[in-house]
Amino acid sequence: MTRVALALVHHPVLDRDGAVVTTAITNLDLHDMARSARTYGVGELFVVHPIEAQRLLASRIQEHWVEGSGKRRIPDRAVAMEVLCVVPALDDVYSALGGRDAIEVWTTAAAARAPGVTTYAEARARLEKSERPVLILFGTGWGLSGPLVASADVCIEPIRARGDTGYNHLSVRAACAITLDRLLG
């Protein structure tokens, strides 16, 4: 089975006007995405944030649940929060996985701006036979910056319902859960 890792990216991401910004850590992103990762057998969720105080916040949340009183209250949560790995930049994620050239970087929610969009069915088939670890990037805010999307090896299609509902604004927590289910469910 191909090794899969996730990265929750807080920079470089877009705001609603399309400007590149850094977003704040959201507590429930860490909980929900760690629980979803663990449910689907993903061993690493990298939390990428360039600001030290924000990384410290994420690390303290993790410690509370993995070693602190949170673990005594809800032991299952410790098993999930262990998958978190807090780092300053995507380069640190690449290094941890063996280097940018040793892995495949995938993005999700690719809009028409991406030249070659991969369907979920194609991505699932590719995942089954990939010999390199696959890193799936999830952008906070209004999504990953354009250059970051363009640098990915695979851009997966946006998540849509069977019928056309005219609405596609899932939370990153929901998008991550659905993506893992479609690829590994």
> What one-character DSSP code corresponds to residue 101?
G
Q: Is the dihedral of CA 125, 118, 23, 88 positive or negative?
A: positive
Q: Give the residue from 136, 142, 111 showing the smallest Cα distance to 37.
A: 136
Confirm or reject binding of residue 69 to a second copy (CB under 8 A).
Answer: no
Work out how close the CB of 96 gets to a second copy at its nearest, in angstroms, rounded to a whole number: 21
Instruction: Establish if 40 lies at the interface with a second copy (CB under 8 A).
Output: yes
Rounded to a whole number of angstroms, the CA Rg of the chain reads 16
Cβ 155 to a second copy shortest distance, Å: 19
**Minimum distance, C-beta of residue 178 to a second copy, in the bound complex (Å):** 5
Contact 176, 49 (CB under 8 A): no
- Grouping H, G, I as helix, E, B as strand and the rest as coil, residue 144 is strand
> How far apart are alpha carbons 143 and 9 in whole angstroms?
9
Task: Report if residue 76 touches a second copy, rule: CB under 8 A.
Answer: yes
Nearer to a second copy, 147 or 167 (CB): 167
The Cα 163–Cα 168 span in angstroms is: 12
15 contacts a second copy (rule: CB under 8 A): no
Q: How far is the CB of 19 from a second copy (least distance, A)?
A: 15
Residue number with CB closer to a second copy (61 or 177): 177
Give residue 123's identity as a one-letter amino acid code: A
28 binds a second copy (CB under 8 A): yes
Determine, following the binding rule CB under 8 A, whether residue 18 of this chain makes contact with a second copy: no
- Residues of this chain, 78-117, that bind a second copy according to CB under 8 A: 79-80
Number of residues in contact with a second copy, rule: CB under 8 A? 38
Strand (E) or helix (H) holding 131: none
Beta bridge pairs of residue 155: 107, 117
Interacting residues with a second copy (CB under 8 A) = 1, 16, 28, 31-32, 35-36, 38-41, 74, 76-77, 79-80, 159-163, 165, 167-171, 173-178, 180-182, 184-185
